[in-house]
């Protein structure tokens, strides 16, 4: 009973335990904030990565596989699957209007089904919006300007369909590059993109160049040079095609936004010669020379014996409900594909085709961030060990200060273990106060981290989180109660550990010496 009374009195009447609690609070809060920010960062990366691949991906790169539309029908017939969408993934040399050449990943997508699988519309950047970026207090984001709403709506629609209107009322195929591909759209320090001033043509023979204000979806066309591969894996001649830009997309992952160009699926299929075509008799392949009825030699026309079905390299699949069950979804997709492959011997066997979750697809990136998170947590935990020593140092001096009290308690019959428990309990109480305070502080900081960052930035003129560097307009913090609970418990235990040695010292004090202590 005296433990509780003295713990309460010592806690409320002394400045030292308050300092110890403060140290525990700051260390606990710091670790929770770091964990929350890194966790939010990871979550943001994963979400961004998912935004272009869905939950599960069936992948047979370069060559592609036939009957994908039937596979999609079979997949969508399963109750666990929300939608599936075909795609072609390949690589191309992308030539920009000013002559720059970039190696990019090209993805042929079907706008409507791709939207159902990935929520692609959200990633399209150029569209009217009403919510300014946090730092854009003056609403300078051009997308906020009602004057541009009509243009932006058209561009948004163009992005969704990957087509742009052409003379004659028709729409022609277009591309949607990642927002960092062309370099014309400039990211403002306030966190939004705007038109940029750029070179729109390479130098001509006279050295002349055309420069101007560039709004990428209206002013830019991209020329893609790609290498088709036939169904047998043979490399065909390079094909080139120039596409207008319909819109740009932003996932928030720099590597994706910098190196990916989306193309209308059917158009890319044609370009890469993956569309349906007549299958010819091998004996009459083009170039075969025969003798005609007139006895003269001539080239024999290929003998069409069937149809070579259209191919896709990839099918993206989205499950119903939460994505936490991606592994289960992968098993279902594998099961469906296995039956599909049995029915279609010309498709890759189930054992060799790639079927992976969005996490598998982004394994390297996620693993890197997870390791960084772990490393940062370990480093900060080491720093937080200082709290243990701080509590130890404070308790050591408090035991010295309270030596006489210990003697009095012993004279009144308190046992050595009772005295030790008094100090350990006291340390735990400091830990509870400090760790709960740290948890509360961290919750406040994490849930208001962008406002706090904004306030510090405006007060000091220094913004630590620069969206031009991190490619997120806001700090992606995420408070997780479970993680915070672990840190709080660790904070309490650390304080108990810090109090342990001084508690032993207190218990071992000779009561007579303690009473005589001045």
Partner 1 sequence: MPLIAAANLRKTYRLGRVDVPVLRGVEISVEPGEFVAILGASGSGKSTLLHLLGALDRPDRGDPAPSIRYRDEELVGRSASTLDQYRTTQVGFVFQFYHLLPELTTLENVLLGAMIAQGRLRFTASRAEHVRHATNLLERVGLGHRLRHRPTELSGGERQRAALARALMNAPPLVLADEPTGNLDRVTGAKILDLFSEMHRQGQTIVVVTHDEATAERAQRVLRLVDGQMVKA
With H, G, I as helix, E, B as strand and everything else as coil, classify residue 396. helix
Burial class (CB in 10 A: 0-12, 13-18, 19+), 172: middle
Q: How far is the CB of 408 from partner 1 (least distance, A)?
A: 5
The residue among 228 and 511 lying less far from partner 1, judged by its C-beta, is 511
445: its two tokens: 């900081």
Residues in contact with 304: Cβ distance below 8 Å, sequence separation at least 6, in sequence order: 278, 279, 280, 281
Closest CA relative to residue 389, chosen from 311, 483, 499: 499
Residues that bind partner 1 (CB under 8 A): 1-6, 9-10, 13, 404-405, 407-416, 418, 510-512, 515
Apex 186 CA angle, 180 and 192, nearest 5: 95
As a whole number of angstroms, the distance between CA 19 and CA 24 comes to: 9
The residue among 436 and 515 lying less far from partner 1, judged by its C-beta, is 515
As a whole number of angstroms, the distance between CA 28 and CA 497 comes to: 15
The residue among 256 and 419 lying less far from partner 1, judged by its C-beta, is 419
The Cα-based distances of 238 to 91, 233, 271 in angstroms read 12, 14, 10
Output the 3-class SS for 402-417: CHHHHHHHHHCCCCHH
Closest CA relative to residue 246, chosen from 159, 178, 170: 159
Q: How far is the CB of 426 from partner 1 (least distance, A)?
A: 12
The residue among 6 and 504 lying less far from partner 1, judged by its C-beta, is 6
As a whole number of angstroms, the distance between CA 82 and CA 76 comes to: 7
Q: How far is the CB of 6 from partner 1 (least distance, A)?
A: 7
The Cα-based distances of 247 to 140, 158, 183, 185 in angstroms read 20, 7, 14, 11
- Phi/psi at 453 (nearest 5 deg)? -60, -40
Q: How far is the CB of 517 from partner 1 (least distance, A)?
A: 11
Q: Which runs of consecutive H residues, i.e. helices, occur in 90-210? A: 111-118, 120-123, 149-161
Q: How far is the CB of 515 from partner 1 (least distance, A)?
A: 7
Q: How far is the CB of 18 from partner 1 (least distance, A)?
A: 14
The residue among 73 and 404 lying less far from partner 1, judged by its C-beta, is 404
Residue pair 114/88 in contact by the 8 Å Cβ criterion: no
Q: How far is the CB of 23 from partner 1 (least distance, A)?
A: 22
517: its two tokens: 């202590």
101: its two tokens: 């050449």
Q: How far is the CB of 414 from partner 1 (least distance, A)?
A: 5
Q: How far is the CB of 412 from partner 1 (least distance, A)?
A: 5
As a whole number of angstroms, the distance between CA 126 and CA 157 comes to: 10
The residue among 9 and 371 lying less far from partner 1, judged by its C-beta, is 9
The residue among 3 and 273 lying less far from partner 1, judged by its C-beta, is 3
As a whole number of angstroms, the distance between CA 286 and CA 302 comes to: 6
The residue among 56 and 506 lying less far from partner 1, judged by its C-beta, is 506
The residue among 82 and 405 lying less far from partner 1, judged by its C-beta, is 405
Q: How far is the CB of 13 from partner 1 (least distance, A)?
A: 5
The residue among 280 and 515 lying less far from partner 1, judged by its C-beta, is 515
Q: How far is the CB of 508 from partner 1 (least distance, A)?
A: 12
Residue pair 300/290 in contact by the 8 Å Cβ criterion: yes
Q: How many residues does the chain have?
A: 518
The residue among 5 and 291 lying less far from partner 1, judged by its C-beta, is 5
């Amino acid at each position: 009973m005296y433990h509780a009374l003295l713990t309460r009195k010592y806690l409320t009447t002394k400045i030292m335990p308050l300092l110890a609690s403060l140290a525990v609070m700051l260390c606990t809060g710091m670790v929770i904030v770091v964990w929350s920010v890194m966790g939010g960062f990871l979550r943001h990366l994963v979400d961004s990565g998912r935004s272009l691949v869905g939950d599960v991906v069936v992948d047979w790169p370069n060559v592609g596989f036939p009957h994908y539309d039937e596979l999609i029908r079979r997949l969508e017939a399963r109750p666990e699957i929300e939608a599936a969408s075909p795609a072609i993934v390949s690589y191309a040399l992308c030539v920009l209007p000013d002559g720059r050449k970039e190696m990019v990943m090209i993805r042929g997508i079907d706008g409507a089904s791709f939207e159902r699988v990935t929520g692609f519309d959200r990633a399209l950047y150029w569209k009217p919006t009403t919510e300014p970026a946090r730092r854009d207090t003056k609403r300078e984001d051009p997308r906020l300007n009602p004057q541009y709403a009509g243009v932006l709506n058209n561009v948004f629609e163009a992005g969704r369909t990957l087509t742009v209107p052409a003379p004659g009322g028709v729409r022609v195929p277009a591309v949607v590059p990642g927002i960092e591909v062309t370099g014309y759209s400039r990211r403002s320090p306030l966190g939004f993109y705007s038109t940029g001033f750029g070179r729109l043509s390479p130098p001509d023979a006279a050295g002349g160049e055309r420069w101007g204000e560039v709004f990428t979806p209206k002013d830019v066309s991209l020329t893609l040079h790609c290498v088709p591969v036939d169904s047998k894996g043979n490399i065909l001649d390079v094909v080139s095609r120039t596409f207008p830009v319909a819109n740009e997309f932003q996932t928030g992952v720099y590597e994706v936004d910098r190196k990916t160009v989306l193309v209308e699926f059917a158009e890319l299929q044609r370009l890469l010669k993956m569309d349906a075509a007549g299958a010819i008799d091998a004996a009459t392949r083009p170039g075969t020379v025969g003798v005609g009825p007139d006895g003269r030699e001539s080239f024999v026309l290929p003998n069409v014996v069937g149809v070579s079905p259209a191919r896709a390299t990839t099918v993206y699949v989205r499950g119903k409900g939460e994505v936490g069950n991606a592994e289960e979804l992968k098993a279902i997709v594998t099961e469906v594909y296995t039956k599909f492959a049995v029915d279609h011997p010309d498709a890759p066997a189930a054992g060799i085709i790639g079927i992976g979750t969005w996490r598998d697809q982004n394994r390297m990136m996620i693993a890197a961030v997870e390791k960084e998170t772990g490393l940062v947590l370990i480093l900060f935990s080491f720093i937080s060990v200082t709290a243990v020593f701080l509590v130890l140092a404070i308790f050591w001096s408090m035991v010295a200060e309270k030596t006489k009290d210990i003697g009095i308690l012993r004279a009144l019959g308190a046992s050595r273990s009772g005295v030790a428990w008094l100090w350990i309990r006291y340390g735990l109480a400091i830990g509870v106060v400090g760790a709960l305070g740290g948890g509360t502080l961290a919750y406040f900081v994490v849930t208001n981290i962008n406002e706090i960052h904004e306030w510090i930035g405006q007060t000091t003129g220094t913004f630590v989180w620069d969206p031009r560097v991190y490619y997120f307009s806001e700090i992606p913090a995420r408070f997780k109660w479970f993680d915070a609970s672990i840190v709080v418990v660790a904070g309490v235990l650390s304080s108990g550990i810090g109090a342990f040695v001084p508690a032993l010292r207190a218990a071992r004090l000779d009561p007579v010496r303690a009473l005589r202590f001045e």
